[in-house]
Amino acid sequence: MGNQIHDKANTGFLSSLKGSPSTDEFIKGLWRDNPVFIQVLGMCPVLAVSNTAENALAMGLATAFVLLMSNILVSSLRNFIPKQVRIASYILIIATFVTITDYAIQAISVELHKSLGAFISLIVVNCLILSRAEAFASKNSIGKSILDALGMGLGFVFALFCLGAVREIMGNGSLFGFPIFPSTFQNWIVMILPAGGFFTLAIWLLIFNLLKQKKSIA
């Protein structure tokens, strides 16, 4: 009895959630099956717009919104969409929400819209969104699809922010445009160039693989 109480006391919050199938759908996207650091999906926006934390966060949130709304609609219509045209239907649904997102970003900030450029429209062909619609939302209830979309979407936001923050800090000496280093700091210009995206991604992939191996050994 004493051992059981001791084991429960040592059980962390995330560990306790793993026992629930529903919450596991949410947690897996944040860490275990992170779409960028584990599955390596959506590399085009990850490498192209993560030169600043603001751009990375905006693109991540835009993608997460489209993923959430697409999962909800695909799950709602899963029994009505013919199998022969399911992919075309999913793309049409995704494109609808991408258009809404595109106009919303343009209304909020024209400068941000220009910074993200064509990559907003390219959310339509983001393999992360289409794969979740095909592999999960089309086979599960709306509730589970929402949790899956939130987990994967926030995991994507987290990954883009990690890249964008590192690249902006090292490349511009700032975060969200606010200087964090003295004027004597020598900016690493390469970090805000395309090559910097590959370097930063490689470092984060290495960190995640090391953590994953360490956890498996433990």
- Is residue 132 in some structural domain? yes
Amino acid at 195: A
Q: What is the pTM of this model?
A: 0.85
- Is residue 25 in some structural domain? no
Number of domains in the chain: 1
Alpha carbons 191 and 116: distance in angstroms, whole number = 18
- Is residue 110 in some structural domain? yes
For residue 20, the model assigns a pLDDT of 57
For residue 117, the model assigns a pLDDT of 84
Residue among 26, 93, 19, 60 at smallest CA distance from 159: 60
For residue 133, the model assigns a pLDDT of 93
- Is residue 22 in some structural domain? no
> Mean pLDDT across the stretch 146-173?
93
CB-based contact 138:74 (threshold 8 Å): yes
Residue among 177, 156, 158 at smallest CA distance from 63: 156
**HEC sequence for 100-151:** HHHHHHHHHCHHHHHHHHHHCHHHHHCHHHHHHHHHCHHHCCHHHHHHHHHH
For residue 11, the model assigns a pLDDT of 45
- Is residue 3 in some structural domain? no
Going by their DSSP bridges, the two strands 174-175 and 178-179 should be labelled as antiparallel
Chain length of the chain: 218
Residue carrying the six token digits 């960028």: 36
Render pLDDT for 13-60 as a digit per residue (tens, 0 to 9). 444 444 456 677 778 878 788 899 888 888 888 888 899 999 999 999
Identify the domain containing residue 157 by its residue range.
41-217
| Distances 25 to 21, 148, 152, 174, 215 between C-alpha atoms, Å | 7, 5, 9, 35, 20
For residue 4, the model assigns a pLDDT of 47
Amino acid at 160: L
Q: Hey, what are 106's tokens? A: 């343009």
With both helix axes pointing from N to C terminus, report the angle between 127-135 and 142-172 in degrees, rounded to the nearest 10.
Answer: 160
- Is residue 102 in some structural domain? yes
- Is residue 166 in some structural domain? yes
- Is residue 197 in some structural domain? yes
